Chains A and B, each alone.
Chain A
Amino acid sequence: MSLIDSRKIKNFITMNAIYIVLILLIIGIAFVDPRFLSIVCLRDILIQSSTRVIIALGIFFIILTGGVDLSAGRQVGLAAVITASLLQSPDYLRRFYPDLPQLPLILPILIAIAVCLLAGLTNGFIVARFGVPPFIATLGMQVIVYGANSIYFDLPPNNSQPIGGLSKNLTELGTGTIGTGLYSIPYIVIIAILAAVVVWIIANKTQFGKNVYAIGGNVEAARVSGINIGKNIMIIYAFAGAMFGLAGVLEAARTGGATNNYGMSYELDAIAACVVGGVSATGGVGKVPGVLAGVLIFSVINYGLTFINVNPYWQMIIKGLIIVAAVAFDIRKYRRKK
């Protein structure tokens, strides 16, 4: 093999490492237990990935700017509790609002998303206006959101009891499918795919998307280029909040309930998925398909390794190794070669 060819192959492997790892992982698990390659398993993995994809896509733009959002998981929990509290069956005994009439499905969903959008906007405002590092600003928001959610959750007559008895149309959204039988497609998978398409279009085809990459690539150069940094940062965090809100709605719908502890540390999974998917933590670099692959890798590890009876503690060690190895590899890729 000539020198050029081997370099091309090396380059191909470098640029597509995440996808190659994903495929190898699937092949490896299938090798141990061929039943893994079934439609049922595949669908389960996609269902498990759906809400994670939405959270990761929300945090994606933030990481692109070199920031981070530690309040993501708690925002998911807040949205789940709000949605669940407003959408319980009229005949359920322990309702959060005993006298609340049946609301149209869309209203509580919009309320939950709007609340998280506001939390995100606040994050963005604090980062943009006061220059508080995103790590700190969103750490504060994480604690505040959890506190607020717990107060709401503790309101009488609920008094911190898990919220259940969700109305049929909400649980249908979380567990229903298009079609029936083997080839049916769950709604939440479709929602996640739609979210990915929308985020891909925003990232690649709009002025806002280009501005995000520019801010992450070099914030000072972006300022000189006439980009309104503060406004864009606020939009980015607010958009992320809306995505976390959507994910919270779907979590409630999928599980048929909610407590104030929903969503705890989901942001860490989302950040891990992004960085493993090639979104550079220093900003400016990253693609939507990479994020999807990042989420899928962790779902495959969770589901697949359990499927072949790997000890869950070992799964953690494997996950941790993948995170660190992926970033070390990525930094090599983008380190200025000279």
Chain B
Amino acid sequence: MSNHKYVLEMNNMSKEFPGVQALDDVTLKVRPGTVHALMGENGAGKSTLMKCLFGLYQPDSGEILINGKKVEIQNAKEALDHGISMIHQELHSNLHRNVMENIWLGRFPLKKIGPLTFIDERKMYQDTKELLDNLQMDIDPREIVGRMSVSRIQSVEIARAVSYDSKVIIMDEPSSSLTENEVDRLFEIIRDLKSRGVAIIYISHKIEEILQIADEVTILRDGKKVGVWPASELTTDLIISRMVGRELTDRFPPRVSKPTDEVILRVEGLTSPIFRSFKDITFDLHHGEILGIGGLVGAQRTELIEALFGLRSISSGKIYYKGQEVKIDSPLKAKKLGMALLTEERRATGIFPVLDVLENTSIANLQKYVKVNKLLDDKARRAEGNQAVEMLSIKTPSLKTLIQDLSGGNQQKVLFARWLLTEPEILLLDEPTRGIDVGAKYEIYSIMSDLAKQGKSIIFISSEMPELIGMADRIMVMCEGRLSGFVSGEEATQENIMRLATKFMA
């Protein structure tokens, strides 16, 4: 055992990529038995720093000390051997195998029968059971991982990290796909790990969470360290201003939308054929209105707006668009009516990673550029692409750049451009600022309020309550597939939204 003050020290780390100083003299010191939050906008250098720790990158200069001893880390295996492990944002479990095989993968306990070596299933089961019991996780070692919830899979990964006898566990956005209750459970596990002397490096954009769980906070900006503070000395506004490097007087643009009385979309008793999904949803969307949809994960909000966009079927209920009853059974139909959808999973269902910015921008609107001879008018397409890039201030070297090489915020703006070119009347936005850094969030908010000012109507789902309260003219709250009520933007508080979001919970 060591009695060093820091379990992990990364001193004066620098790393240059062609054209970018990704890390510039960054120092990170983590005490044992604490939660150390690492914060910064996307591109601030958090993941580069962690990749240096994992040997995925070799730093140009700087040293890594573990328990005061200098180490060289060439690859992830060596990092594990030094007691460092990582819980990735996208979980890396093998979904087809069971819990214990996932935990002991690569180091199965073996037994010999004669000249042959077999896996010792019984020992593996007992070891796993002991490990999980010890962590007070109620998980069957033989359960197939693919049948478990995200939160339980995450617990399995944490258990695996513990099984390596890790001294430092890095958690990259661990709460991003968890419900409120599951986050509480995660925090319990983290506190338990702390009490065992394990240090946690917690990477998250969610400031409220950081303030709740972290002991110390290191903030990075543009590859440099801004500073390190005890979490108790920080507030949301302080963190944001230090992350973006300017005073943020307002996190949201001023409310300028003026919804009219005219109803552009009326939904009546909309019900999904799936039993546990949304049922009996009735609401009006007004011209120029920003309607927020609040609720916890599992409230079936995504399912509802995907049904409005023709991606999911409905068993009963009616949709009226400008007073006319419409059947929307495909995205094409929805698009033709003047609707647009930005999906929650930008990577999975939004961008075309291997295509360039221009193709990504124009794909939903190609019909417009088809000339009489059936060929596309590329000149017009490029001109409008350039216009969109300028209008939304998308930071890209050119229209020919592959979208996968842009930051998350700029990818999202390209998706806005894609749909704005179709000149929609109604925009459906599913978690439009998810995984986007603070500065770019403000730009997305500005785009939303500009659109509302131009008379477009917006429905947006958000799991961040400040965002709902800051942006929406009206908030519709759902709970377990049912509509639990409306709150106006002025009257909304975290408390009354939360009350509605849990209204039907047993």
Determine if A221 and B349 form an interchain contact, defined as CB atoms under 8 angstroms apart. Answer: yes
Give Cα distance in the complex from A190 to B375, angstroms: 23
Which residue from chain B places its CB closest to the CB of A285 in the assembled complex? B354
With A207-B366, A211-B366, A334-B354: A226-B331 Cβ-Cβ less than 8 Å: yes
- Which positions 3-37 of chain B face chain A at CB distance < 8 Å? 18
Chain B interface bracket (under 10, 10 to 19, 20 to 34, 35 or more):
20 to 34
Give Cα distance in the complex from A230 to B479, angstroms: 35
Q: Does B465 contact A (CB under 8 A)?
A: no
Determine if B350 and A280 form an interchain contact, defined as CB atoms under 8 angstroms apart. Answer: no
B351: which A residues are within 8 A, CB to CB? 218, 221
Determine if B331 and A220 form an interchain contact, defined as CB atoms under 8 angstroms apart. Answer: no
With A201-B375, A210-B376, A228-B332: A280-B370 Cβ-Cβ less than 8 Å: no
A211: which B residues are within 8 A, CB to CB? 363, 366
Which residue from chain B places its CB closest to the CB of A7 in the assembled complex? B18
Which residue from chain A places its CB closest to the CB of B343 in the assembled complex? A224
Which residue from chain A places its CB closest to the CB of B376 in the assembled complex? A205
Give Cα distance in the complex from A284 to B330, angstroms: 23
Q: Does B316 contact A (CB under 8 A)?
A: no
Determine if B331 and A206 form an interchain contact, defined as CB atoms under 8 angstroms apart. Answer: no
Which residue from chain B places its CB closest to the CB of A231 in the assembled complex? B332
- Which positions 290-341 of chain B face chain A at CB distance < 8 Å? 309, 311, 330-332, 334-336, 341
Q: Does B383 contact A (CB under 8 A)?
A: no
Q: Does A213 contact B (CB under 8 A)?
A: yes
Determine if A284 and B343 form an interchain contact, defined as CB atoms under 8 angstroms apart. Answer: no
Encoded as 1 (CB less than 8 Å from any B CB) or 0, chain A from 30 to 55 comes to 00000000000000000000000000
Q: Does A2 contact B (CB under 8 A)?
A: no
Whole-angstrom distance from the CB of B58 to the nearest CB of chain A?
15
- Which positions 278-298 of chain A face chain B at CB distance < 8 Å? 280, 284-285
- Which positions 198-235 of chain A face chain B at CB distance < 8 Å? 201, 205-207, 210-211, 213-214, 217-218, 220-228
Determine if B334 and A214 form an interchain contact, defined as CB atoms under 8 angstroms apart. Answer: no
Give Cα distance in the complex from A207 to B341, angstroms: 21
Determine if A218 and B352 form an interchain contact, defined as CB atoms under 8 angstroms apart. Answer: yes
Q: Does B367 contact A (CB under 8 A)?
A: yes
B404: which A residues are within 8 A, CB to CB? 336
Which residue from chain A places its CB closest to the CB of B336 in the assembled complex? A226
With A210-B359, A224-B331, A225-B418: A217-B367 Cβ-Cβ less than 8 Å: no
Determine if A205 and B353 form an interchain contact, defined as CB atoms under 8 angstroms apart. Answer: no
Give Cα distance in the complex from A205 to B335, angstroms: 23
Whole-angstrom distance from the CB of A155 to the nearest CB of chain B?
41
Whole-angstrom distance from the CB of A142 to the nearest CB of chain B?
29
10 shortest interchain CB distances as A-B pairs: A217-B352, A226-B335, A220-B349, A225-B364, A226-B332, A207-B366, A226-B331, A205-B375, A284-B354, A218-B352
23 contacts between A and B (CB under 8 A): A201-B375, A205-B375, A205-B378, A207-B366, A207-B369, A207-B370, A210-B362, A213-B352, A217-B355, A218-B349, A218-B353, A220-B348, A221-B351, A223-B331, A223-B349, A224-B309, A224-B343, A224-B350, A225-B335, A225-B364, A226-B364, A284-B352, A285-B354
- List 4 additional A-B contacts (Cβ < 8 Å) besides A207-B367, A217-B352: A207-B370, A210-B376, A218-B352, A218-B353
- B residues near A (Cβ < 8 Å) are 18, 309, 311, 330-332, 334-336, 341, 343, 348-355, 359, 362-364, 366-367, 369-370, 374-376, 378, 404, 418
- A residues near B (Cβ < 8 Å) are 7, 201, 205-207, 210-211, 213-214, 217-218, 220-228, 280, 284-285, 334, 336
